[in-house]
Homo-oligomer: A and B are copies of this chain.
Amino acid sequence: MTTPHRRFKDAIYEQLARLGKAVSAPKRLELLDLLCQGPRTVEALAEQAALSVANTSQHLQVLRGARLVDAEKKGLWVEYRIADDEVCRFFLALRGLAEARLAEVDQVTREYFDERGAMEAVEAGELMRRVKRGEVTVLDVRPPEEYRAGHIPGALSIPVGELKGRLKELPKHREVVAYCRGPYCVMAVEAVELLRKKGFTAHRMEEGVVDWRARGWRVEGGGAQP
């Protein structure tokens, strides 16, 4: 005895659950997070998320089934990308809620960052102000493709791995603020560690480009389809 009313409700929540299911696996969330930084091939995603290629492909198909990502065949590669900016904002909402409600997130983060020599982070709004006043050098330490897919206006691109050999590109007596993919990415932490060892005044910003864009602030580079 199912009324049409009930069938309708079931159908609707079934649809909502498609999105829920898509973000119910840790690895899929990691892939989504990576894709928010910019488009990538299956192989690259597999490597960065520490997954087998076949497994990555399957996860990506689930994400695509939920219309969260799009795939485009580019010659030998398949390039996956976020289907819509709203997807990134949704991911941020999920992350924000987890930070707000799940004490474990804070705990795990603290544990990990503390043992690497904690450091106060500069908040995005604060950075924005200092950038406007021309007080700081902003440093993007992500891989160059991600920098190209979108970065904070005026930021320098030096991938963390190359930083040691390219220190001379940074003005010496000026504060540096490094950022990477977001609060759970360690590249900026490593960069700041290195910079301080070399005598720079350096801080990290927790937020990434995705947060920056979600605040409605301008992002340089990237655009639609490259």
Contacts and interface: CB of A to CB of B under 8 A. Distances in A.
A75 B12 CA distance: 35
A29 B21 CA distance: 11
A21 B21 CA distance: 7
Contacts of A112: 4, 8
B94 A20 contact: yes
A20 B15 contact: no
A23 to B, nearest CB: 4
Interface residues on A, range: 35 or more
B101 A93 contact: no
Nearest to A33: B13
A50 interface: yes
Contacts of A108: 8, 11-12, 15
A16 interface: yes
8 contacts: A10-B26, A12-B184, A14-B26, A16-B94, A19-B97, A20-B22, A20-B29, A67-B102
